[in-house]
A and B are shown apart, each in its own frame.
Chain A
Amino acid sequence: MSAYEISLLSVIGINVILAVSLNMISGFCGQISLGHGAFYGAGAYAAALAMIGTGNILLALISAIVVGSLLGIVVGFASLRVRSDFLAVTTIGVNFLFTGFVRKQGWLGGEMGISGIPGSGLGADGNMVMILLFAAATIALSLYIGRSWMGFAFRAVGEDEDTAATLGINAAAYKLAAFGIGTALAGLAGGLYTFFTQFITADAFDFILSVMLMAMVVIGGIGSTWGVVVAAIGLTLLPEAIRFVNDYRLLVFGGLLVLVIRLAPGGFAALARAVATRMSRA
């Protein structure tokens, strides 16, 4: 494999982890988060500091996961106070606060970011294999949660919190769980990203990235693990495959997001299901 293919597969793997983990929060549990980039970034910075301090990959990944999910649980508490679009606004705020804070911190490299982070020692292809394994594990976890009681409770809370409460589902606990799990995975993705680039700046985790991730989730079909995986892969490959799309990336992503919400709110997963039903009937 060429270096280009290795780096492309690594980016795809990271985006799959991010989109699938966002889908757990926003798709399964219905808590719209437009600040996923902040948790991803928190994980990346934690891993970078841990790598510089200890040089131990395992420790770096664990600190990425812990820092990501700690921040996620704090933001999860916000979801107990505000709902729906106001939660979305709060998470946008969290994303801006994160980048605004990091840019001013000398110990986090400020505007210049952190460079010269020690590598994982696995080489580019070893890194890629590690990222893809974690991506596969994330998909498996998402599928498992989707079928479990927890997934049922998430969906119940997402559909109608008050009705879920009458069924004896502790909405607050499940919302925190969704945020905790989803953001832990985002932190993990951040740690993997740190190994992949060995150089991080706040700009890599800004609000636009969060919008892109939400676009992947909505276009793939909010709540559908496979739909989101396909969208994450497709939307990462699209700018690479078509030169035109690479120049107009935000135009295409924004346009697709608006079109899908306007014309097919269930995303491609719902379209695929509709086509499959029609085929089986014919």
Chain B
Amino acid sequence: MYYIDLAVTGVSFGCMYAMMAVGLTLVYGLLRILHVAHAAVFALGAYVTVVVANATGSVDAGFLAAIFITPLFGMAIYRMLYEPLLSYRPDVPMIASVGLLVLMQDAFRIVFGEQGVTFRNNTYGFTTFDVFGVTVNAVQIAIVVSAVIIFLGLHLFTTQTRIGVGWRATVSQPKIAASFGIDSIKVRYLNFAIGSALAAVAGGLVALLNNFVDPVIGYVVSYKALAIIVLGGLGSVRGTLIASLVLGLVESYGTIFIGRWLDRDAIAFLALIALLMIRPQGFVGTRAT
């Protein structure tokens, strides 16, 4: 049963990573920028969820607020930080992004305190189900269910609607898409808005799961998400989903097999470095250097 418990943990973490990493991979596909500050968006989502939930007494209101506020923040990052830096070498916006993440983490610490914030009334976080002897937390189920709904919705949106098709076209062939009259600037804002909202949902769910939000909530997740998008082949949503689940499971089982000589959080980086050295272009697709 122990191994099944690990699988449950692994899959739920994998789904959380997927919601976080899809925004990153889309930004990379569109702008060729490693958007490290996506973790600050994730943390903001977690904070808005917990603060609004405590103020209104409703966790749903918290999520709703996070989904509305974080896209604005994500779009502001694009407009104020990345857009002016697009003509520079790709490491320039990346370092700026790291700077922004460090700044935001400290800002969260100053505003909300070092100790972090807990939910005043978190019924989901402490509800557990017993499924054939395996204990499953309600939030773990919520993470998996939201990931499935979100990615099905995203799939329908990008294949069935005109805006979605235009978005996909711009990601794969920006110039040709523009010549068909698609406004690439609007696509970029759409991209940051949707990616940020997904990160916010992931942040809020992690907050519920831990019943706790502290300033470093996004710290390790951010660099793990970088590992995931490289693993998934950079810009490929399907690759990112697979890589997220694989990492979630590998971490979960890895802690018992190699946890004795390596930190859980370092496993992702070991995989990342190995992959970058063996196949710098990722598992699927090609990469322009």
Q: Tell whether, in the assembled complex, residue B105 and residue A83 are in contact, meaning their CB atoms are under 8 Å apart.
A: no
Taking a contact as CB atoms under 8 Å apart, the answer to whether A89 and B230 are in contact is yes
Interface of B, secondary structure class, is helix
Distance, CA A268 to CA B244, complexed state (A): 41
Find out whether the CB atom of A32 lies under 8 angstroms from the CB atom of B91: yes
- Asked whether B48 is an interface residue with its Cβ less than 8 Å from the other chain, the reply is no
Contacting residues, chain A, for B88 (C-beta < 8 A)? 265
Interface presence of A251 (CB below 8 A): yes
B31-56 at interface with A (beta carbon < 8 Å): 33-34
State which of B95, B103, B276 has its C-beta within 8 Å of the C-beta of A261: B95
Asked, given contacts A254-B102, A258-B81, whether A82 binds B90 with beta carbons under 8 Å apart, the answer is no
Does A90 lie at the interface of the complex (its beta carbon under 8 Å from any beta carbon of B)?
yes
Q: When chains A and B are docked, how far (Å) is the Cα of A93 from the Cα of B270?
A: 7
Question: Interface extent on B, as a size class?
Answer: 35 or more
Q: Report how many residues on chain A are interfacial, defined by Cβ distance under 8 Å.
A: 44
Instruction: Determine the residue in chain B with the shortest Cβ distance to A34.
Output: B98
How many Å lie between the Cα of A208 and that of B81 in the bound state?
A: 21
> What are the residues of chain A within 8 A of B100 when measuring CB–CB?
254, 258
> Interface segment, A45-53, A97-105, A121-129, A170-178?
A97-105
Q: Identify the B interface with A (CB < 8 A).
A: 33-34, 80-81, 84-85, 88-92, 94-96, 98-107, 110, 220, 223, 226-227, 230, 259-263, 265-266, 269-270, 272-273, 276-277, 280, 289
Report which A residues bind B (CB closer than 8 A). Answer: 32, 34, 78, 81-90, 92-94, 96-97, 99-101, 103-105, 207-208, 211, 214-215, 218, 247-251, 253-258, 261-262, 265
User: With contacts A104-B262, A254-B102, A255-B99 known, what are 16 further pairs, Cβ within 8 A?
Assistant: A32-B95, A85-B90, A86-B280, A89-B34, A90-B273, A92-B269, A93-B270, A96-B263, A101-B266, A104-B259, A104-B263, A105-B261, A218-B95, A254-B99, A256-B99, A261-B96
